[in-house]
Each structure stands twice: as structure tokens, then as C-alpha cells.
A and B are shown apart, each in its own frame.
Chain A
Amino acid sequence: MEYLSLYLDFVKIKLKGMTEYPGAFWAESIAKMMGWAANLIIIYLMVFRFENVFGWSAYEVLMLYSINATSYSLAGFLMFDAFGMLSRHIQMGTFDEMLTKPMNPFLYLCFKGFSTGYIGNLFSTVTALIVCFVALNIPINFTNIFYLIFIIIGSSLIHSAMFMFVNIPVFWIVKADALLSLRWALDEFIRYPISIYDRWIQVMLTFVLPIAFINFYPVQHFLKKDDFLGFSPLLAHLTPVIGIVLFALGYIFFFLGVRNYKSTGS
């Protein structure tokens, strides 16, 4: 509870900062909104022209994409600045300061990193989600909304864990730009149903780097698709569990990094 009110104080400061420069905030939101909208339109047009991809219709693929993008944006609110800036903090020596604060440095980093830059993304992706629900005749009732929130929390945790896993290595190697671009390449795999890939890639995206749980498995609960690649249909409900496990691993990884951390001395 104490942390919650502290967090809200941090958010308040960020929002105040935002209202100082309303022009920049709106420019960023509109620019990002357009960028994401273009991505959504392209996916729709591509699948629409070719009727379907492995039995997935244009709106079904769009839903796959918008769940991924919505949970990415939510994770971005908390994690992008927190961990994306980690290497800067270490290089500039400001990370030392965080270790002296009278609170858990992980939480401090997340609190301080709250970013307003994702409102434009969320606007586009949530709109797309609603459009998909309507176009696919999925009833918008209490159970479905509850289940959607349940999935999105789970997949946001997976995305948050990804932010951590690609950025925390900076404790050892100082610069992790290349890992970041690898993360984006991975993201490409789950833009379309993973049934289009070879068996070994499906296995990898399910059990080794379980990003298929971000969208491919949970979305099938709504779409009633039964495209589980020979795995158990129960995988559709595992997203939050996978999210919590990965997030916990990221948390442990962070403290391993902190233990290894030697200040640059600047």
C-alpha cells in the first residue's frame, strides 16, 4: 500500500512534466499512433488479399497482432524507460545513486521509469482489438472482458521480462544494442500464427523462448480455433503463469546483475 501511494507520486511528477510540454506529448502520441495504425492496416490488407493464412482470417491475424501490441505498450509504460535507460545510468554513474535510495532498487527503477510515451500506441491497438471483437462476432460480455484482461496482464509480464532480459546484460557488457535488435527480430515470429513455421521453430517459440504465449495460444480461447500444433489446448490458459515465472526470473537476473555491478566511477 505504501508502495502504491509512492508509485502514484512518481506518476504524478511525470504527468506534471508532461503538461509542461503538451506539444511534445501530443506530437509523440500522434506520431506513434500513426506508426502503429500503418502496421495494423498492412497486416489486415495482406491477409485480406490472400483470403487467409493457414486458416486464419484477416481479422483473426489482426487480433493476434493487436494483443501483442497492446501488451507490449503496457509493458512499455513500466519498463521501457526503466530498463531501456539502464546502460545510460550505468555509463553515467547515476545508477550508484539508485542503490543509495531507501527502497528496493528494482522498484525504484520501475517507479522512476514510468513513461507517458505509450498512450498513442495503446489508443491504436485497443481500437484495433475492439474492431476485431466486433468483426469476429465475439460477444463483449463480462466473462470475455475479464478473460481478455487476464491474458493481457500475463502477456504484458512476458513483454516486461523481455525488456529485462535484453537490457540487464549491460551489468556485464555495458552495451547491449545488438540484443535489443534481436528482441525485435524475435517479435517478428509472432506477428502471424506460428503454425506457418517448421516444427522445431514452433517448439522453440513454445518451450524455449515462450513468446507464443503472448498471443498465439491465448487468443485461441476467443477464436475457438483449435490450432494447437499437436500440443494440449490447455496452453491457451497458461499465459499468466508463464508471465509470472518469466518476470520472477527477470527479477532474480536483475539482482545477480546488481551483485556483479562495479561502478564506472564517474
Chain B
Amino acid sequence: MGEAHVGGKFKIMYIEFLKKSFQQQFVYRTNTIINIFTSLIYLFVTVSIWSALYGGRSIIDGISLSEMLTYLLMMQFVRTIVRLPVSNYVADRASSGIISIDFIRPVNLKLCAIFDSLGSALFNVVVFAVPMVIIGCFVWGFVFPANLFQWLIFIPSLFMAIALYSTMEYIMGLTAFWTKTNFHISWIVGAFMSLFSGSHIPLWFLPESIRLVANFLPFKYMIFEPINIFMGKVSSGEALIIILFQFVWLVILFMIERILWHYAQRVVTIQGG
């Protein structure tokens, strides 16, 4: 696996994976409509809660209510594109035994998993996230980045967030070689994500002690920090340091992944035909 065949032909192949899973989403039309409806409910509820929490106060911890609502809208967008369910793809294949085919196919399992998930994520961005940001702009207002630099540095930090999160998901998927399921690890990592990634509360509002812990974990670099950069809450120097940290975490996770993959190939047991 992962041979150095990264010629042009192979790149096109991964794009095909992406296209296929994007197109697949069109099949479930009623599902899509109800999903749009439910995400609107979620957004409505979260906005109501945060407005109630502000309760008429204009600024808390240096963040105004309209900035907070911008954060919520951006989070919808970032979460949709970052949280690729890569581990489901890998774990399904590992527990059903289809993985045996992946061992002999001239493709990289990780890239297949990422591009497959990316297809449906892009569909969700087009169908949910972008319309929601547009609706939100009109209903609640949206605080756009003040300068070009914020945009310029937000985009690489978002890409790094995608790489970080999908590598973590891939590692979670690999554990299914031992546990036969990614269910438990997903719940556990999900618990850490919801506390430390800023997907429920932006880190601005967390107590000092929890923020300190968050600094030593990779989760905040997956959702919170890109939005933090976008909203101009960090200086340009700090923004570059954030990207550096994202890179360091990516290297660490990549090494863990390589080690797990090395052992996974030995423990693989194909159950039946």
C-alpha cells in the first residue's frame, strides 16, 4: 500500500472517488430535504440559546453577540467540511473483510477514505452550509474579516484542520482492526472534540484550566483556531504560530498512523468469504 505511484492518472482516480460520492447524495432527496430542515432547527436553537445567554449584555470576554453569531455560522461551515467520517469507511471495510481487496488494490486506503468522505462533505457544504451562512447574514448579520490577511491565512489553516481531523479519523478507523468496530473510539474522541475543539463553546468562554489542557491537545486546531483566525481574534504572528502547531500535530498523528498501520497488517483476520 501507499506505493509511490502518485502520477497524474492516480490523482484523477481519487477525484473520481470524490465525484461518485458527491453524486450519490442526489439519490436520497427526501433525506436531504429533512436534513436541511433539521440543521435549520439546530441553528435556530443554538442562536436562541446564545442570545438568551447574552441576555441583553453587549460584550462578554471581548466578544459581542453579533461576533458570537458569526462564530456559530462559521462553525457550521467549518464543521461540515472538516468532520469527515473517514473512520466509518475504514472500520466498515476492516470488520466486513472487504479490506482484503484494499490490500491488493494499487490505491492508498487513506486517500480513498478521505476523498470518498470529502465528496459527501462538499455536497453538504453546497446544500447546507453555504445557504445557511447566506441566510444567517441576512437574519443575524455577519462580521466579515476586516483585512485580506485574515482570509489569506484562514484558508491554509482550514486545509490543515481538514488534514488533521481526517488523519485522526483514519487512526480511529484503524483501531477497528483490533476492536472490530469504531463505535467506542468515536464516542470517546467525540467527547474530547465537544469539550476542546470549540464545536459547542468557543474557547474564549472556557475556564483558564480547561484552556490550558486544550493547548496540549490537537482538537482545538481542528475547528476553533481556523475560525479564531478568520474572525481576527489573533495577531498575524499568532496566526502563523497556530499553523505551525497544526503542522506539528499533523506530523505526530501521521507517525502514530504509520505505526498502527504497520501492526494492523499483521493482525488482520478476514472473517469468512
- A-side residues, CB < 8 A to B, are 27-28, 30-32, 34-35, 37-39, 41-42, 45-47, 49-50, 52-54, 177-179, 181-182, 184-186, 188-189, 191-192, 196-197
Q: How far is the CA of A197 from the CA of B41 in the complex (A)?
A: 12
In the bound complex, do residue A196 and residue B48 qualify as a contact, i.e. CB atoms below 8 Å apart?
yes
- Given the known A-B contacts A41-B195, A42-B194, A53-B53, are A182 and B37 also in contact in the complex, defined by CB atoms under 8 Å? yes
- Interface check B5, CB cutoff 8 A: no
- Please give, as numbers and ranges, the residues of chain A lying within 8 Å of B42 by CB-CB distance: 185, 188
Q: Please give the distance in Å from B175's CB to the nearest CB on chain A.
A: 11
In the bound complex, do residue A192 and residue B194 qualify as a contact, i.e. CB atoms below 8 Å apart?
no
In the bound complex, do residue A31 and residue B195 qualify as a contact, i.e. CB atoms below 8 Å apart?
no
- Please give, as numbers and ranges, the residues of chain A lying within 8 Å of B207 by CB-CB distance: 45, 49
| Extra A-B contacts (13), CB below 8 Å, given A34-B187, A54-B55 | A31-B184, A32-B187, A34-B188, A35-B188, A38-B190, A38-B192, A49-B206, A50-B53, A50-B54, A178-B35, A182-B38, A188-B42, A188-B45
- Interface check B10, CB cutoff 8 A: no
Closest to A26 in B: B184
Shortest 10 CB-CB distances between A and B: which pairs?
A178-B34, A38-B191, A31-B187, A196-B52, A31-B184, A185-B41, A50-B53, A185-B38, A34-B191, A188-B45
In the bound complex, do residue A31 and residue B206 qualify as a contact, i.e. CB atoms below 8 Å apart?
no
- Given the known A-B contacts A38-B192, A38-B194, A188-B42, are A28 and B183 also in contact in the complex, defined by CB atoms under 8 Å? yes
B55 contacts which of A38, A42, A50 (Cβ < 8 Å)?
Answer: A50
- Interface check B256, CB cutoff 8 A: no
In the bound complex, do residue A182 and residue B184 qualify as a contact, i.e. CB atoms below 8 Å apart?
no
Contacts between the two chains (Cβ within 8 Å), count: 90
In the bound complex, do residue B34 and residue A181 qualify as a contact, i.e. CB atoms below 8 Å apart?
yes
Q: Please give the distance in Å from A129's CB to the nearest CB on chain B.
A: 19
- Interface check B205, CB cutoff 8 A: yes
- Given the known A-B contacts A53-B53, A188-B41, A197-B48, are A46 and B31 also in contact in the complex, defined by CB atoms under 8 Å? no
Q: Please give the distance in Å from A225's CB to the nearest CB on chain B.
A: 15
- Given the known A-B contacts A182-B37, A185-B42, A196-B52, are A49 and B187 also in contact in the complex, defined by CB atoms under 8 Å? no
In the bound complex, do residue B52 and residue A182 qualify as a contact, i.e. CB atoms below 8 Å apart?
no
Q: Please give the distance in Å from B196's CB to the nearest CB on chain A.
A: 9
24 contacts across the A-B interface (CB closer than 8 A): A28-B184, A30-B184, A31-B183, A31-B184, A31-B185, A31-B186, A35-B191, A39-B194, A42-B194, A42-B195, A42-B200, A45-B207, A46-B200, A46-B205, A49-B207, A50-B53, A178-B30, A178-B35, A181-B34, A182-B38, A191-B45, A192-B52, A196-B51, A196-B52
- Please give, as numbers and ranges, the residues of chain B lying within 8 Å of A50 by CB-CB distance: 53-55, 60, 205
Interface size of B by CB at 8 A reads 35
Q: Please give the distance in Å from A151's CB to the nearest CB on chain B.
A: 24
- Please give, as numbers and ranges, the residues of chain B lying within 8 Å of A182 by CB-CB distance: 34, 37-38
Q: How far is the CA of A184 from the CA of B34 in the complex (A)?
A: 12
- Please give, as numbers and ranges, the residues of chain B lying within 8 Å of A178 by CB-CB distance: 30-31, 34-35
Query: Chain B 113-157 against A: per-residue CB contact (8 Å), 1 yes, 0 no?
Result: 000000000000000000000000000000000000000000000
Closest to A178 in B: B34
Q: Please give the distance in Å from B55's CB to the nearest CB on chain A.
A: 7
A45 contacts which of B37, B54, B184, B201 (Cβ < 8 Å)?
Answer: B201
- Interface check B179, CB cutoff 8 A: yes
Q: Please give the distance in Å from A219's CB to the nearest CB on chain B.
A: 17
- Given the known A-B contacts A41-B195, A188-B45, are A47 and B30 also in contact in the complex, defined by CB atoms under 8 Å? no
- Please give, as numbers and ranges, the residues of chain B lying within 8 Å of A185 by CB-CB distance: 38, 41-42, 45
Q: How far is the CA of A46 from the CA of B129 in the complex (A)?
A: 25
Q: How far is the CA of A45 from the CA of B45 in the complex (A)?
A: 18
Q: How far is the CA of A27 from the CA of B4 in the complex (A)?
A: 38
- Please give, as numbers and ranges, the residues of chain A lying within 8 Å of B54 by CB-CB distance: 50
- Please give, as numbers and ranges, the residues of chain B lying within 8 Å of A189 by CB-CB distance: 45
- Interface check B210, CB cutoff 8 A: yes
Q: How far is the CA of A62 from the CA of B195 in the complex (A)?
A: 16
Q: How far is the CA of A181 from the CA of B30 in the complex (A)?
A: 13
Q: How far is the CA of A52 from the CA of B49 in the complex (A)?
A: 11
Q: Please give the distance in Å from B45's CB to the nearest CB on chain A.
A: 4
- Please give, as numbers and ranges, the residues of chain A lying within 8 Å of B183 by CB-CB distance: 28, 31
* Residues from 30 to 69 in B contacting A, C-beta threshold 8 Å: 30-31, 34-35, 37-38, 41-42, 45, 48-49, 51-55, 60
Most A CB within 10 A of own CB, among B34, B45, B185, B206:
B45
- Given the known A-B contacts A50-B54, A177-B31, are A27 and B184 also in contact in the complex, defined by CB atoms under 8 Å? yes
